[in-house]
Amino acid sequence: MEVVNQTDPGYGFWVLFGLFLLWGSAWDKLQSARYYLDGRLAGAHTMSNLLLNARLIQDPLIQRAYIGLLTTLVRYNYEQQAKTAVSLQEELAQAAALVAMHNLSHQQKVRWEPDAHLQDMEMELPPFSLLCLVENALAHGVDPGRDEVAIRIHAGRVKGSMQALCLSGFGMPQPKVLKRPPKGHGLHYLSQRLYRFCVAKSMYHYFEKPVVKGDHLIVQFPV
């Protein structure tokens, strides 16, 4: 008499469950790797533009001051690229250096005017987030024909578990660029990082791409 071996139904469930856990672990590692890669690319994008600006400087003393500021940014880029998040105050300090470098390498001067209350906010964001926004504003939003240009930043309203940062005082990026930034553009890396940062923070955080409302660029960060 032939004996038919029957597979325990529970065995198949545990095999599938184990495969699901392995897939989840691999996917999590892949997303983490993409997050840090986007950060390195965002930092490299900014550094490349800053090095190009150094060519515009003819005065050796001004060039030396510019390179000194650039050195601090390179160090920040190297030290922070392996971190998930940095404080708002760290990004503000580096963004101020970015504006100072612009003023050394360009005839038109840009005022740096962050709201004083930002120094008291307990808020984290992905490294290079604010730097990317300020660098983009300096590269594409400063109209040489304007007599006065400023980059202003203040805290917007809290919506759910998201805190808005609002930038103004310069030419706003086009909505289509914000909605679908070209690959290789600084805003593309920022958008990817913000999405993964929100997802990693909590399932209760939602992601919104930066938007322009009136004369303000609004970016949402989880808190």
**DSSP letter at 169?**
S
pLDDT digits (tens, 9 = 90+) for 21-37: 554 545 455 555 555 55
* In the chain, where the domains are located: 24-222
Range with top average pLDDT, 73-87, 98-112, 177-191: 98-112
**What residues contact 83, with CB distance under 8 A and at least 6 apart?**
127
Q: What is the mean pLDDT of residues 204-215?
A: 79
What are the pLDDT digits (tens) for 37-48? 555 555 666 677
pLDDT at residue 107, as a whole number: 80
Second-level CATH architecture of 24-222:
2-Layer Sandwich (3.30)
Kindly report, residue by residue over 53-71, the tens digit of the pLDDT: 777 788 889 888 988 888 8
Helix (H, G, I), strand (E, B) or coil at 104: helix
pLDDT at 223: 80
- Please say if the pLDDT value at position 9 is more than 80: no
CA distance 76 to 81: 8
